Structure 1
Amino acid sequence: MFSPWYAWSGRRDPENHVCINVATYGRGGRFTMTDRGRAALRQSAQRFQVGPSAVNWNGSELVIEVNEVAAPPLPGRVQGTIRLTPEAVTAVEMPLTPDGAHVWRPFAPVSRIEVNMEAAGWQWRGHGYFDANFGTRALEADFSRWTWGRYPTADGALATYDAVRRDGSELATAARFDASGGAGIVAPPPRQELSRTLWGIPRQARGDEGARPRQVKTMLDAPFYSRSMVETVLDGETTVGVHEALDLNRFRSPWLKPMIALRVPRRRNWEFGD
């Protein structure tokens, strides 16, 4: 959905603009998001393959096979396997607009993850999650900005969603998940100010009254998007989760897409070797 090539194409043929986006963080971190044509796409009920990389569901775990080349300024091979094992798979869908044109689908908000990439220090096990967004219109057509956060808790996870729609209405909600797949909408904790990003994107996070959410790690800082690790307090429990902020007013600016294209190259031709 963030491919400038797809936007420039008029968004007429999504299967001709497919990619598997991978980002690693910390020392030597890499970013890869190659826009490929339909010749590189193979998909079935269990497997989604784009060129040399694929996502496969084997019935109990999601196996991601990565074989990509990173974008500048740190080019290099990004290769290995990621395994995500859900504690449970939910049946939850949350409409983000009243007409259901945009839907958030938290498939497995409480999961275990094992990362085994072919680079020193890129191997670890820990707490993970798996979600997705679906839509029938461009995000920037319906939203001005949003922030989202997902935080592990003692009994599962809490996710918060805040958005300002183009019509001026707002989304402000939270969902609590347990390890057995149970889910429910809850009153969101109070909204708290969070420091702006290096690109000046305003941010907010949720936390208990009097809590001071703070960024503890920058993961991705772009002109229109940030992803970071944020520490906050929820129901008296200090937790560190993933936080994102998205400025869709910036994203729809014509001057920004050529900048994104430098990090998201287009590769039209692909041939499978079988």
Structure 2
Amino acid sequence: MARRGGDADPHNHVTVNAILYTPRGKYWAMTERGRASLERSRSHVAIGPSQYSWTGDRLVIDIDEKTMPIPRRINGRITVDPGPVFSRTWNLDAAGRHEWRPIAPCAKVDVQFERPSLNWKGHAYVDTNAGTESLEAGFRSWTWSRQDRRGTTRIHYDVIQRNGVPRGLALDYNADGTVVPFEPAPIQDLPLTGWRVSRHTRAHPSNPARVLKGLEDTPFYSRSVLGFDGEGKEFKSVHESVDLDRFRSPIVQMMLPFKMPRWTRRR
């Protein structure tokens, strides 16, 4: 919306992106709101009817949103036990215009939803990205993945900068509060998505990755679950691939409002 309207105030373009994958299908909500719908303090952020709050040593996320394109309610609470909190920030580009910080990569989560009715507990991950320019100005594409490895969260981040130069990070975040860079495995190409978005991951030829499930398939973005064999068991990774050349194309920009409507009232 900001690109089309010319409004550069970030507080006037805020949203909660909530996605639930259930046996009954996917629930997607991402409504953009303006400054009047934003409230924040040191320990609390509210965007429309949804809010994030630090309560003691837990992050409590209350979600109250409507899905698109079929309007359905998403209503529930996510409680995150962050585990060790990491302060290190990494530059994704050589110019230092884009930063990434895994805040709580070894977290645990308790999910309780009324609509749709579901609940579960498991591993969680919290990070943040920040930049002084748009993503498509800094990058052509990137892939990212995280994998839970019995107390260690393994993360790969590979980008192609706008000038065509690749850059990457390979990091193990451990439950004891340490972070260890490691030499990444070679790049393995993965099958194209339904929208013909290219994607790849890091894997040794002797233990190639497998696409177990596709979660998101859009003209410029994909999210998948990958499987790897190792140490006598199967490890799973959440994998994302983004094509920013496609994202900035006029056709894709025209399609975005159908997935991300704007709400102009206070709530």
TM range (shorter): over 0.9
Which stretch shifts more, 208-217 or 232-241? 232-241
| Structure 2 residue 216 is the aligned partner of structure 1 residue 220 | yes
1:190 to 177, 180, 186: 186
Shift of the alpha carbon at 1:236? 7.7
| Structure 2 residue 58 is the aligned partner of structure 1 residue 61 | yes
What are the residue-to-residue correspondences of 1:119-158 with 2, within 5 Å?
119-158=115-154
Give, in whole Å, the separation in 1 of the partners of 2:231 and 2:159: 23
**Given the superposition, is the C-alpha separation of residues 235 and 166 from structure 1 closer, same or farther in structure 2, using an over 3 Å criterion?**
farther
Give, in whole Å, the separation in 2 of the partners of 1:56 and 1:234: 38
Q: Per the alignment, in what secondary structure is the counterpart of residue 206 of structure 2?
A: coil
2:160 to 157, 160, 164: 164
User: 1:30 maps to what in 2?
Assistant: 27
CA deviation profile, 1:211-257 (whole Å, cap 9, x unmatched): 22112122211111111111124688631021000000000001111
**Which of the pair is proportionally richer in strand?**
2
Give, in whole Å, the separation in 2 of the partners of 1:144 and 1:188: 21
Moved over 6 A (4+): 234-237
CA deviation profile, 1:57-96 (whole Å, cap 9, x unmatched): 2241111110000001x32000100111112111121100
For the Cα contact (< 8 Å) 1:92–1:183, is it kept in 2?
A: no
For the Cα contact (< 8 Å) 1:142–1:166, is it kept in 2?
A: yes
Indicate the RMSD between aligned Cα atoms, in angstroms: 1.6
**Given the superposition, is the C-alpha separation of residues 253 and 50 from structure 1 closer, same or farther in structure 2, using an over 3 Å criterion?**
same
User: 1:7 maps to what in 2?
Assistant: 3
Give, in whole Å, the separation in 1 of the partners of 2:39 and 2:146: 31
For the Cα contact (< 8 Å) 1:144–1:164, is it kept in 2?
A: yes
What are the residue-to-residue correspondences of 1:255-270 with 2, within 5 Å?
255-270=251-266
**Given the superposition, is the C-alpha separation of residues 13 and 82 from structure 1 closer, same or farther in structure 2, using an over 3 Å criterion?**
same
Letter in 2 for 1:94: W
Q: Per the alignment, in what secondary structure is the counterpart of residue 77 of structure 2?
A: strand
Letter in 2 for 1:195: P
Shift of the alpha carbon at 1:186? 1.4
1:252 to 227, 248, 254: 248
1:173 to 138, 160, 169: 169
**Given the superposition, is the C-alpha separation of residues 224 and 192 from structure 1 closer, same or farther in structure 2, using an over 3 Å criterion?**
same
CA deviation profile, 1:31-78 (whole Å, cap 9, x unmatched): 000010100000111111101001112241111110000001x32000
| Structure 2 residue 80 is the aligned partner of structure 1 residue 70 | no
1:46 to 40, 43, 46: 43
Shift of the alpha carbon at 1:98? 1.8
Query: Structure 1 stretches of 5 or more lacking a match?
Result: none
For the Cα contact (< 8 Å) 1:153–1:237, is it kept in 2?
A: no
Q: Per the alignment, in what secondary structure is the counterpart of residue 255 of structure 2?
A: helix
Give, in whole Å, the separation in 1 of the partners of 2:242 and 2:7: 20
Give the percent of matched residue pairs that are identical in Structure 1 and Structure 2.
37
Query: Structure 2 stretches of 5 or more lacking a match?
Result: none
Give, in whole Å, the separation in 2 of the partners of 1:64 and 1:205: 31
| Structure 2 residue 201 is the aligned partner of structure 1 residue 208 | no
Shift of the alpha carbon at 1:119? 3.2
Letter in 1 for 2:256: I
For the Cα contact (< 8 Å) 1:207–1:233, is it kept in 2?
A: no
The size of the alignment, in residue pairs, is 266
TM-score (norm 1): 0.92
Which stretch shifts more, 185-194 or 13-22? 185-194
